[in-house]
Every structure is written in C-alpha cells, then in structure tokens.
Structure 1
Amino acid sequence: MEEAQEPHIESLGHDDENEAITESSAFVKGEPPEEDSSPPKVDSEVEILHEKVTKQIIKEGHGEKPSKYSTCFLHYRAWTESTQHKFEDTWNEQRPIELVIGKEKKEMTGLAIGVASMKAGERALLRVSWELGYGKEGSFSFPNVPPMADLLYEVELIGFDETKEGKARGDMTVEERIGAADRRKMDGNALFKEEKLEEAMRQYEMAIAYMGDDFMFQLFGKYRDMALAVKNPCHLNMAACLIKLNRYEEAIGQCSTVLTEEENNVKALFRRGKAKAALGQTDAAREDFLKAKKYAPEDKAIAKELRLLAEHDKALYQKQKEIYKGIFGPRPEAKPKTTNWLILIWQWFLSVFYSLVKLFKEKRQKSD
C-alpha cells in the first residue's frame, strides 16, 4: 500500500480480518454533492410517498430498502421551501447522522418517510409539508424556519443496519455499540486494501456514526478509551482515503478531529501535513511535520516530507530569483577608464607654470 512507510500507520485490514459480520447491512460508494446554497434542480418524475411527502431521485441506489427500526446513516441539506433558505447541512460536519426508522423525532417524520423509500447510495430531493416537519410553531433550534414552513431535503442514504435480534441501536450497551463500530472499521480496512476507497470511507463513516458526540459525551475512563481506540483510527483511515482521492481539505478536517482528542498523535500530524503540503500550505505543513518529528525523531517518512519541503522552497527561491533577474536585468559592468595623455601633459604643464610663478613672486618679495 502506498503509505506503508508512514509513522504508526493504522494497520488497514490486518487484524481480525476473518471476523464475521453479525449484522446485516447495506452500503454504497458515493461522493459529496457540490456545495450550493440553493436546492438542486431535478427533472426526474415526482413520486408520491405520502400525501405530505414527495420524492424525486437525483441518483439511483441499489439493493434493498431499510425496514422498520433499521438504523440509517444519511447526509442531508435542508431548506425552507418558501424562502429557499438553507438551515442545516450535515455534509459540513463530515459525518453522517443516524436515524432509526420508526423512532425518529417528530420533526423528522417526513424525512424518515422519504428515507424509508430509498435504497443504499440513493440521493433524492424530498418535499415535506409542514405537518410532518417543524409544525405550527416552527423551529426553536433553527430560527429561520418559521411556523408552518414546508421543507425541502436533499438526502443521501449512505447505508443502513437492520436491527440485531430486534434491538435498536439506542438500546445497545456501550460494549455492543463499540463492537459494532469496530466491525465497520475492519470492513473498511478490507476495502481499503482492495483500493475501494469510496466504499471503505462509507464503512468508516458509519463506524464513526455509532459514536456520535452525544454518545461520547457520556463516556468516561476505560469506556471512553475503548471508543476512541476505534473512532480515531476511523478518522485517520478516512484521511488516508481522502488524500488518495485528492480531497485534501476534508482530509485536514478528519485529522484535526483526532488532534482535538490527541494533540500529539503522530499519524494525524503527518497526514494533515501531507494534505496541507498538497494544497501549497508549506509553512503550516512544515509545522505539522516538525511537531510529528518531535515525537518520532527517527521516522524516515517524516524526514522525507521535510526534505521535500526544503527542496520545494529552494526551487521556489531559484524561480523567484530568475523572475526578478528578468525584470531588472543584469547589473551593468564597470567600463575601464581610458587614459588621455594630452590632458595629463596639459595638467603637468600648468602645475610647472604655477610653480614658476610662485617662485618668481617669492624672489621678488625678498629683493624688495
């Protein structure tokens, strides 16, 4: 694998490769939509899912649809239909949200109806009437959602897990939840080894979704350490995939998430440095590499990246030197002065003449 010489690189697909997956699941490759402040324009047929919910497919999915109590992982953007104001965008968080069909919040009833009709990998535009959204009062969390506001959702169903023996994710113990995330991580590692980067990232995203902020906030001591031992490698392996896909800004975000928990994580510093260097942020990249070197002074991969940055800086200096040389031109050379013998003879004659005049005056003064 390309990054085998990186410092403390997560063993991708190396440990417990043969462990069976105990939950049925679905996932699919995908990519984030282009950033846009307005809802997408869609020409596909309008499908009526409910008298208050319609759907237009933007991108087809595949496989089965989630059943009741399936835990779905999705990204979405949301607008108020009347004002076209975007009030939420989960893609900006770089992690999917978790929605359990049949156990969703009241304001997400319409969204859940739409998601239940989708296949893994499908992206669609949903129109949800206010009755199945934020209702008569509007949203307290999103002040720009007024009372009785119809909503538009651009939704992508990344994947879903069917319930395990009738147990919803919210009913899992901490150990079960961390274990499920770890299996997702290992699935992602196996896909990474096959260079199926998009599919691997989907598995890492779903693993991370098992350990959202609300869940992590409740953990202390050994349980938090156990969760981070799964969660942080998923972020770092996501960064490895994103670097290979030239999605450097997203890679930086994944590494920075890890560094908020472990400020001295060598792998996070190294990969963030690589992403910054690829974006031309050489000073910031050098800062990350130097900090990584502080904790792994003998690491050859870090030394190589620092050497590449030094060579880049040298080449840039030489290029700038040539540019300035072309602007101002070469410094003019001093011309040797030619000797004018006629002037020298004339100057000698004048000096002799003035000397004789001076001598004559002195003699005359003595005689007087």
Structure 2
Amino acid sequence: GIGGMAGFGAGDDPDEWKVTMMDEADVGKELDCSRGEKKVMKKLLRAGRGYENPKQNWEVVLTAERKDENGLSERIVATDEDRIIVGSDRLPSGLTVALKTMRKGETALVTLRGHDDADRGDSAAQSGSGAAADAAIQYEVHLERIVEVAEIEDGKIVKKTLREGEGYEALEDLWRARTRVSGRLASSGQVFWQESEFSFTAGDPSLPAFWALAVVGKMKKRELAELTVSSDLAWGEKGDASIGVPPNADVVINVELEDWVEIVDLSASKDRSLLKSTLAKGEGWERARERFECDIDLQVTRGGEVLIPSERSVFAVGEERAALNEICGDVAPKLSASAALSKLLKNMQVGETAELRLDDERLGSAKHGADTRFKATLHSYLKVEEVPHTYLAVTKKVLHDPTDMFDRPNEDSLCKVAFKVFTVDESGVRGDLVEETELTDFVQGERKVLPCIDAAVREMKKGERSVISAPAEWAYGSVEYEATEGVDRPRSRVEVELELLDFVKAKDAFEMDISEKLAMQAKKKEQGNQQFKRGLYKEAVKKYEASNRFAPGDADFQKAEVPESELVEMRAGVLRQRVACFVNIANAQTKLGDHNAAITSCTSALELDRDNVKALFRRGEALLAADELERAKSDLLAAARAAPKDRQIRQLLEGLKAKQAAQKSKDKRLFGGMFA
C-alpha cells in the first residue's frame, strides 16, 4: 500500500506530511522530522521517486555516512544481501525517524540533535567514540531500495516484495498465472525447487494454501516476492517427498509473477461452465449491450474440430443467427450458439480478443463430447439503443459519436438538424428516399417534424449522426403528422439518417421568472389538450404534468413586482390551471384503463379545490370502474348537488344504481340459502 507519512499522526504542522513527499522543488530545503522538536532535521539533496516511505520492519538498502562536529566519521552500508530492518538497532533511532520519511532513490542530509550513541549499541558507541549528548551529528543518507514486508495469516507467511509489480491490478481467482518459482527449506537453505516456470489457475484448491493467501489478490504483474511460509500453509505435516519437502517443514518460496490470462465465470450460477479468457486487452470502460452491432472476427471450435473458421462479420447482440445456430447446435440446454456469443460480446472491450469456453460436462450437454470454444476479436461496435418515451417502438443506431460532447437537448430546445428519410419494407430492406433536408430547425416537443425525429434528438449530442428506425405510427402514419398539401408520404416503416447540427437548450423552471413560468404553464397545458384530442393519452399526461411543474410557487409570487390585486388574480389563475391539469390527467388515465392512477390524480385536484365538480365527477367515474361503489356514490352525489342539471353525472348515477342492483342480486344468490 501507499506508505506516505509512515510513522506520523495527523498534525497541524505541514512539515509532518510535506517531509514525507519532498520533490525536485524542495531540493536544498530543510524540514523537521520530529514534530516540531527539531531533534531530527532533513535537508533534501536529491528527490526520490514513487509514493512509498519505509515502515517499521520493512527492509532497506542504503548507505549512510556520518560526520559530527568533532570530525568523527562512520559509514553504514546495507546491501541487497544484508538489508537493514527498519526499526532495528543497526541505525540510530533518530536516523530511523528520518528514514521513514524518505523515498526510493532519495538522498538527504540528516541532522540529529540531542543524539545519544548509546541508544545504538553498535561498535562505534561501545568503543567510546560517541559525541556529547547535545552535539549535532549529521548523516548523508542515500536510500537505494525499499523492500515491503507484510505478515499474512498472523505471521505464518511473511511476504517480502523484492521487486514492485506494474499498475494496480492484482491476480484474481480463476485467472491463469504464469510464474517463475524457486524454493528452499527455511531451516537449512537446501533447494528443493530449482528455478523454473510454473503455471497455475488462481484458486486451485489442490495447491498449498500459501498460493491463495499470499499470491492471489496480493501480487501484481511482474512482481517478485519472497515468501517465508510455515509448514501448515505449505506442504503440511506430511511434506512432499517427491519434491524433497520433509514433514512439518517451513519453506522459503521465491515467486516472480510474469503474466496472466484474465478468466471470468459468466455463468449465472458461477459453476465455471462458461469461462471467458481475455487473450488481448481492449480499451475503454463501455461494453456492448443488447442490439449493439459488433464488428468481430469469430472462430468456433469443438475439441479439435473447427466448426467456423476465423472470419470477419457483423453480429447484433441478442440476435438469433440461424446459420450460426445450425452449425454449432445448442451448446447447452436452452442456450443457443447465438446466445453464447452475445454473452461473450457483452463482456468485452473494443479491441479485445477473448475466448469463451463452454464446459460440455458442467452444462449438461455431453452429447457433444467436447467443450465448445468461441474465440472473438471485437474491432468496434455501433450503439443501437431504444429511444426513451417511444414505448420501445423507435431505435437509434449511432454512426458518429462525438466523444468530446456530453450535453443533450432538453424539452423545448431549439434544434437544428439535417436528415434523410427512407422507406423500409417488411423484411427490413431500405427502399426509396422519401424526404431530405440539409437544414431545418424546430422546437423539440412541438412535433413540427416526424415524431421519431422529435423524440430522438433528446438522446443526441451536437455533431452526432445516427440512423433512426421507426414504425409508421412514429413517422408519416402518425396522427400528429401534418402532411404538406399535395405531398403524399408512404405510411410505412422508415429509417432516418439524422444529424444534430446544433441546439440551444430551453430554460429550466428554476431559471425562469414568473412571467416565463406562467407562459410555459399555459403552453404545456395546451399541448396536452392537443395530444388528448389526437387520442395520444400517454403523451397528453406528460404535457399536463409538465404544465404543473412550471406552475409558479409561493417564492415566485413573493418576488413578483406587481400590484396586490393582480397578484391575487395570478394566484387564482395558476391554481385553476393546476386543478384542470390534474383532472385532465385523470381523464387520460381513465382512457388508458388505469383507474387507480386516475383516482390519485383527482384526489390531488381536490386537495387544491375540494368542491371541484369535474374532479368529483372524474374520481367518481374511476371509482365506479374500479367497483368501489360506496366511495363512487359519495363523490357522484356531491357532484350532483353542485351541478344538478349535469347529464353526465346523472348517467353515471344511473350506472351506479345498476351496479348496486346487480351486486345485491349476486349477494342474495350467494348467501340467500345460508339461513333457510
């Protein structure tokens, strides 16, 4: 781990953290290593590298030349074969404090004041050559190497990192590792494992425990480590005579983790029946999803037989390709070859080469008698996504994705686009060019262009080019489409090559003043009315809800600079529109058959205006449809008292009476004979 500020607590003195990470700009500076006591001062002569500072019990390779005020000198040398343990008495305690602030490659002049050589117990002190306790002693220290020492399993394994690995990723379970290993007995140094290459699967339970405890999850690629392992985590009480390990033998293992193949279990039950091996890494974090069109090289083998030679093709994730399924057959119960390939592609990066191995025995498909392997390289993909709020009807395939752009139009944005519209036949083949424009602008949400274009731009970035696929009802067959006089458009499925050239976002509600909110509230309500008249009830609900979102609130009225009389009228008008929108929402929800939602919407209206006749009527209507007859009766009678001549209310009351009579007759038949 990062060893910065080793040995320091969290103090207010900036020296306490700065002294551990001094860089080139700090050469020549002297900082205190002793928390303000100035007993241990460090002057940087050459900056180090990396982030590690030595910790207690780690090991270091260094040289330290000592000079004091009386001209006495001493040279301390710790080589790779004779490393110093941090905190041992081979260094003065003050020098150890300074050492814990240094980085690999760093050279520093360390000044110790109030130093007592007797603390060291070394030959210099014992010979009487020590300086006075209050004298200043200086060491020029060069820290050559840091060896991290970690205790694992309560010290049963001691891991020394002799060479740091690359990056941050460590070996994981299931991965196939390639190492170079040597081993010797801890007691005698006798070599029982000559240095050689050794490959294994991480997590293999047949291996001694130290592999899982000290290598898997602990070592990085290219790392070299020395493991001192107690017998119970090595070859145990029996040892292994075949390799020369006696019973109950502690061992020292040197492991160099040269490389690995990443392997992931893609099976739902994690039974290792679908193992994906990464043969060459790709780039990026995003993965292909359902419908994405992937440009791949694919080879399929079974045992030693090549079912499909390596060939380049385009495959849509989630599609069932008949030719592939026919050649390979079902690779497992309820798993087609196409489904297996889709599973692999969903877990690959662009540029990655990977292999999916389907374990014939574990999958219960032993009819093949051998594992099936899919080897694929994912060169690129085109994103194919459903356009939100089109009820899965419209899709968007991205041809050009501007990676430096992130913003998208919101509702009511002014959009500038270019597009071409083509017919598509029943088999999905593109036909004639129907309409083309190099530049047109429109306000999103006003449906002045084809509904599929209007919906799709909400999901596009400036400069993006996409192909929009839409059925007739989202194109020229839509009830919203206003045909140009004298121009006949085909009522068929279409593909639209669409480019978003530019857009200006509409203001959000919080950015508007009260007059802008009032205008938007009225506009959205009118748009809802238009959608309702067209029979587009879901779209109408969205517009009415938007109208209520734009309704000014108390804070807006408090800031409004208008006469009090106008303010009262404005408040009343806003309230009327909100109530009307809730009632209209309920009406649309009733048309959609969602009676419970309609009841809730009417209740919201009545919370604002408890005597609103339309709200009582619509809630009574929804309650009647939901067979809540007593509650329906209460609402409808209240509405009838307020509007005694309303024919619709009277009709619903007649319907209520009929339902009550039918329910009474049913109850009589059901319970009539119980007490005879």
If the TM-score is normalised by the length of the shorter chain, which range does it land in?
Answer: 0.3 to 0.5
Q: TM-score, normalised by structure 1?
A: 0.46
Q: TM-score, normalised by structure 2?
A: 0.26
Greater relative contact order (Cα < 8 A, sep 6+)? 1
Structure ranking higher in strand proportion: 2
The structure with more radius of gyration: 2
